[in-house]
C-alpha cells in the first residue's frame, strides 16, 4: 500500500452565537471523532495491497469492495463511545408533527438500523434508547425521560420544526446550538455565569414584578432580601410610605424633627405622667385597700409614682401609722409615721390613714384635721362668724370666765333643767312628774338614804347556780364538768367553779368557756400527800359579756389516763348595782 485516501467527516457548522466555551468543546469533539474514524480507515487500508481510494460511499477500489455496514459492523470502532447518526432525514409533516426516514445509529461497536416514522409525531423529544427498543426512535415531552444512561436525543420537535442533533453532540444541545431549558439542572446557572446587565425586566417571570417597568408590587420582598443602605430617599416615591407600612415602635426619637409634634398630633391621653418632666409628685398606678390586713391598717399594691420625669415602682406594703409619704431619697418605698413628718422639697404626703380608712393627699386634696393643724395657729380672725355651734363645744368647756356680762338671759336658760337655777326655790313642791327621767345623780342622793325597800328584786345582783355531787370521768382531752345559763343586763359577771378531783393525776388543766374559751389555766399541780384521795379545787373569773342570754361552762383535762371529778358547782353572778 502506497497511499490511503479518505474523505474527512463533514460536521455541521458550529454556530457563531454559541459561547466560546461551547464552541471550543465542539471543535475538540469533532477532531476526536475525525481522528477515530480516520484511524479506522487506515486500519482497513493496511490490510490491502495496492493503491486504495476511499470515496464518499466508502467503496474500496481494488480486489474487494466493503460497504458502510461491513465497515461499521466490525471491531474497528471499539473506541468510539459517542453514537453516530447516519441517513436520517427529519421533516415538518404539518399539525406540529415531525416524520423521519430510515437511518442508522452506530454505538459502542454495534450498528442499529432504525425504522422510519411516516405518520409523524407531535411530542417534543425524539430519542434513541439502547436498553428499550434499539431499532426504533422514541418520543416524549419530558426531557428527563429522553436523557440518561444509553439514551440520546436525536431530534427536537419545536411545534413541527425539526432540529436534528449533530453526531455525538451532547443531548441537550440542538442543531442550531440552542440549549433546551428543560435540560438545565437545578441551580446549574450560577451568578458567575450571568453577564452584567444580562437580565432585564423583560426576562423576569416572577409574581409581583412588572415585566416592563421592573416595579415590585406590595408584599413581594422577603425578609433579608434588601441589603443594608440599599434603599435611599430617591428610591422612594412620594407618599409611598403610609401608616400601614410603619411597624410598631419603628419611629424612634432620632427620626422626629424638633417641633414636629404639635398639639393636633397628640391623641387624647397620649401624654401620661411618665412623659412629663416636672418637679411634682404623681401617683400613676396602684391601689389602696382599707382595713387590710387588719381593721386599723391600710395596704397598698402595684403602685407607681412619677417625679421629675422618672417613674418609680413601689414595693407593696401596709401600715397602721397615720401618715403615708414618699421621699426621693428612697424612691421605691412608701415611708410611714404616727406623727406628721417633716417633709423636704422632694418629699410628698401620699395618703392619711384614719383608723383603717385611707384618704389620698398626694393630689392636693384638702384634708385638714387636728393632726395637720399646728397648735395655737387658729386665731379669732380665722374663724368665720356664726361657724361655731354647740356641736363644736366640748362639755364643761364654757365656764363663767368665758361668759360676757349679762350675756345669759332668761331665754338662754333651759327651765326644765333646775340645775341652771341658782336661786332658792322656797316652798315650791316638786313631785315625780316635775323630775325628768335620769336627772337625779348620785350626788343628789344623801348618804344612807336608799333602804332595802327602795331596791327592786335582782336590781343589785343577778345570780344563777348549778351544782351536782355526781362523779364524772375526765381524760386527756377536755371534759365538761358543769354549766349554767344566765340573762345579763350588761354588767360585770363573776364566775365561780368548785369541785373535788381525785389525786391519781399529777397535774390537770382547767378552762371556762362562753361561746369560746375565755379563760384557761394549765399545769395545775395536785398537792395532797395521799395519792388516793380527792382534792377540793375552786376557781373564780370575772367577765364582761354584755347583755343577753349567756351560757358558761367549766371543763377539766388531766395529764394522763382518766380521773374522777365530783361535787361540781358553778355560780354566775352579775353585779348590776
Residue 26 pLDDT more than 70? no
CB 500 within 8 Å of CB 536: yes
The lowest-confidence range among 31-35, 45-49, 254-258, 434-438 is 45-49
pLDDT band, residue 90 (cuts 50/70/90): very high
Give the pLDDT of residue 136: 94
Residue-level pLDDT at 247: 79
3-state helix, strand, coil split of the chain in percent (to 5) is: 15, 35, 50
The domain boundary, picked from 348, 369, 390, lies at 369
Pairwise CA distance, residues 119 & 127, whole Å: 17
- The SS3 call for residue 57 is coil
Rounded CA gap, 282 and 310, in Å? 10
The pLDDT assigned to 76 comes to: 40
270-321 pLDDT, tens per residue?
676 566 667 788 899 999 999 999 999 999 999 999 999 899 999 999 999 9
Going by pLDDT thresholds of 50, 70 and 90, the confidence category of residue 1 is very low
Mean pLDDT score, 496-503: 89
Of the ranges 32-46, 184-198, 355-369, 558-572, the best mean pLDDT one:
558-572
Range of weakest confidence among 258-267, 388-397, 531-540:
258-267
Residue count of the chain, please give it.
577
CATH number reported for the structural domain that contains residue 477 in this entry: 2.60.120.1310
Report yes or no on 442 lying in a domain: no
445 has pLDDT over 90 = no
The more confident residue out of 437 and 146 is 146
Distances (CA, A) of 522 to 508, 515, 536, 542, 566: 7, 20, 17, 18, 20
Q: Which of 210-224, 240-254, 448-462 has the highest mean pLDDT?
A: 240-254
Exposure string of 470-481, with b = 16+ CB inside 10 Å and e = fewer, is: eeeebeeebeeb
Q: Is the pLDDT of residue 476 over 60?
A: yes
**pLDDT confidence band for 2 (50 / 70 / 90):** very low
Above 60 in pLDDT, residue 71? no
Q: What is the pLDDT of residue 299?
A: 97
pLDDT tens digit sequence for 158-189? 999 998 876 544 444 544 445 555 555 555 56
Q: What is the pLDDT of residue 14?
A: 65
Tell me, what's the pLDDT at 316? 97
Least confident of 71-80, 167-176, 277-286, 539-548: 71-80
CA distance 42 to 205: 55
Which has more pLDDT, 42 or 466? Answer: 466
pLDDT at 467 over 80: yes
Specify if 470 maps to a domain.
yes
User: Residue 283's domain spans which residues?
Assistant: 273-369
Q: Indicate if the pLDDT at residue 4 is higher than 60.
A: no
Specify whether the CB–CB gap between 125 and 112 falls below 8 A. Answer: no
Integer angstrom CA distances of residue 154 from 22, 78, 138: 19, 22, 10
Dist CA 571 CA 484 (whole Å):
8
Number of structural domains found in the chain: 3
Domain boundary residue, one of 308, 336, 369? 369
In a domain, 520, yes or no: yes
Question: Residue 436: phi, psi to the nearest 5?
Answer: -70, 135
Mean pLDDT of the 521-543 span: 81
> Is the model's pLDDT at 115 over the cut of 70?
yes
| pLDDT of 354 above 80 | yes
Helices (H) and strands (E) in the chain, counts: 3, 29
Given pLDDT bands bounded at 50, 70 and 90, which one contains residue 365?
Answer: low
What was the pLDDT predicted at 505?
61
Among residues 334, 349, 369, the one where a domain terminates is 369
Torsion of the alpha carbons at 371, 374, 375 and 378, rounded to the nearest 10:
-110
Q: Are the CB atoms for 261 and 270 separated by under 8 Å?
A: no
Say whether the peptide bond before residue 293 is cis (omega within 30 degrees of 0): yes
What digits encode the pLDDT tens for the residues 224-233? 667 777 777 6
The mean predicted confidence, pLDDT, of the chain is 77
Domain-located, residue 109? yes
Kindly state the average pLDDT of the residues 355-372: 74
The yes-or-no verdict on residue 323 having pLDDT over 80 is yes
Could you give the angle at the alpha carbon of 207 between the alpha carbons of 204 and 209, nearest 5°?
55
**Buried b / exposed e along 519-558 (16+ C-beta atoms within 10 A):** eeeeebebeeeeeeebbebebebebebeeeebebbbbbbb
Residue 208 lies in a domain: no
Identify the three-state secondary structure at position 420. Answer: helix
Query: What are the cell numbers at 98?
Result: 415531525
**Strands 298-307 vs 317-319: parallel, antiparallel or unpaired:** antiparallel
Query: Is pLDDT of 98 > 90?
Result: yes
Q: What 3 state SS string does 166-231 have?
A: CCCCCCCECCCCCECHHHCCCCCCCHHHCCCCCCCHHHCCCCCECCCCCCECCCCCCCCCCCCCCC
Give the pTM. 0.28
What pLDDT score does 64 carry? Answer: 41
Mean pLDDT of 455-468: 81
**Domain-embedded: residue 447:** no
Amino acid at each position: 500500500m502506497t497511499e490511503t485516501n479518505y474523505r474527512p467527516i463533514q460536521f455541521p457548522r458550529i454556530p457563531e452565537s454559541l459561547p466560546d466555551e461551547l464552541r471550543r468543546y465542539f471543535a475538540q469533539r469533532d477532531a476526536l471523532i475525525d481522528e477515530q474514524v480516520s484511524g479506522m480507515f487506515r486500519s482497513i487500508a493496511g490490510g490491502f495491497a495496492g493503491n486504495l481510494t476511499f470515496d464518499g460511499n466508502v467503496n474500496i477500489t481494488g480486489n474487494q469492495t466493503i460497504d458502510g455496514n461491513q465497515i461499521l459492523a466490525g471491531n474497528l470502532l471499539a473506541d468510539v463511545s459517542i453514537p453516530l447518526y447516519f441517513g436520517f432525514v427529519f421533516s415538518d409533516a404539518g399539525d406540529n408533527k415531525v416524520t423521519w426516514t430510515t437511518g442508522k445509529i452506530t454505538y459502542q461497536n454495534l450498528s442499529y438500523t432504525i425504522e422510519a416514522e411516516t405518520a409523524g409525531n407531535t411530542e417534543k423529544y425524539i430519542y434513541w434508547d439502547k436498553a428499550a427498543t434499539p431499532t426504533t426512535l422514541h418520543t416524549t415531552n419530558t426531557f428527563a425521560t429522553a436523557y440518561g444512561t444509553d439514551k440520546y436525543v436525536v431530534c427536537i420537535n419545536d411545534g413541527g420544526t425539526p432540529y436534528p442533533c449533530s453526531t455525538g453532540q451532547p443531548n441537550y444541545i440542538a442543531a442550531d446550538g440552542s440549549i433546551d431549558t428543560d435540560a438545565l439542572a437545578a441551580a446549574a446557572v450560577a451568578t458567575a455565569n450571568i453577564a452584567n446587565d444580562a437580565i432585564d425586566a423583560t426576562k423576569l417571570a416572577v409574581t409581583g414584578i412588572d415585566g416592563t417597568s421592573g416595579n415590585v408590587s406590595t408584599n413581594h420582598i422577603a425578609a433579608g432580601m434588601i441589603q443594608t443602605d440599599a434603599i435611599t430617599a430617591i428610591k422612594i416615591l412620594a407618599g409611598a410610605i403610609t401608616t400601614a407600612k410603619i411597624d410598631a415602635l419603628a419611629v424612634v426619637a432620632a427620626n422626629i424633627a424638633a417641633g414636629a409634634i404639635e398639639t393636633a398630633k397628640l391623641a387624647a391621653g397620649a401624654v401620661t405622667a411618665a412623659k412629663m418632666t416636672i418637679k411634682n409628685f404623681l401617683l400613676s398606678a396602684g391601689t389602696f385597700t382599707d382595713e387590710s390586713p387588719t381593721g386599723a391598717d391600710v395596704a397598698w399594691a402595684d403602685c407607681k409614682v412619677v417625679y421629675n420625669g422618672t417613674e418609680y415602682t413601689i414595693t407593696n406594703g401596709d401600715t397602721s401609722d397615720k401618715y403615708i409619704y414618699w421621699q426621693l431619697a428612697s424612691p421605691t418605698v412608701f415611708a410611714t409615721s404616727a406623727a406628721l413628718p417633716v417633709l423636704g422639697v422632694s418629699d410628698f404626703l401620699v395618703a392619711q390613714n384614719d383608723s383603717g380608712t385611707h384618704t389620698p393627699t398626694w393630689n392636693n386634696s384638702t384634708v385638714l384635721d387636728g393632726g395637720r393643724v399646728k397648735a395655737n395657729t387658729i386665731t379669732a380672725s380665722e374663724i368665720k362668724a356664726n361657724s361655731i355651734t354647740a356641736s363644736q363645744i366640748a362639755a364643761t368647756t364654757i365656764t363663767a370666765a368665758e361668759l360676757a356680762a349679762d350675756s345669759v338671759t332668761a331665754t338662754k336658760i333651759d327651765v326644765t333643767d333646775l340645775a341652771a337655777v341658782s336661786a332658792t326655790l322656797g316652798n315650791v313642791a316638786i313631785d315625780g312628774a316635775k323630775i325628768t327621767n335620769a336627772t337625779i345623780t348620785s350626788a343628789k342622793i344623801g348618804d344612807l338614804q336608799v333602804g332595802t325597800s327602795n331596791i327592786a328584786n335582782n336590781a343589785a345582783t343577778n345570780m344563777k347556780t348549778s351544782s351536782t355531787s355526781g362523779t364524772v370521768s375526765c381524760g386527756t382531752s377536755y371534759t365538761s364538768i358543769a354549766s349554767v345559763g344566765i340573762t345579763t343586763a350588761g354588767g360585770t359577771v363573776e364566775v365561780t367553779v368548785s369541785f373535788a378531783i381525785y389525786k391519781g393525776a399529777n397535774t390537770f388543766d382547767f378552762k371556762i368557756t362562753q361561746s369560746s374559751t375565755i379563760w384557761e389555766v394549765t399545769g395545775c399541780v395536785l398537792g395532797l400527800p395521799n395519792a388516793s384521795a380527792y382534792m377540793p379545787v375552786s376557781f373564780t373569773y370575772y367577765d364582761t359579756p354584755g347583755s343577753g342570754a349567756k351560757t358558761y361552762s367549766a371543763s377539766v383535762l388531766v395529764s394522763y389516763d382518766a380521773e374522777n371529778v365530783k361535787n361540781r358547782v358553778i355560780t354566775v353572778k352579775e353585779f348590776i348595782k
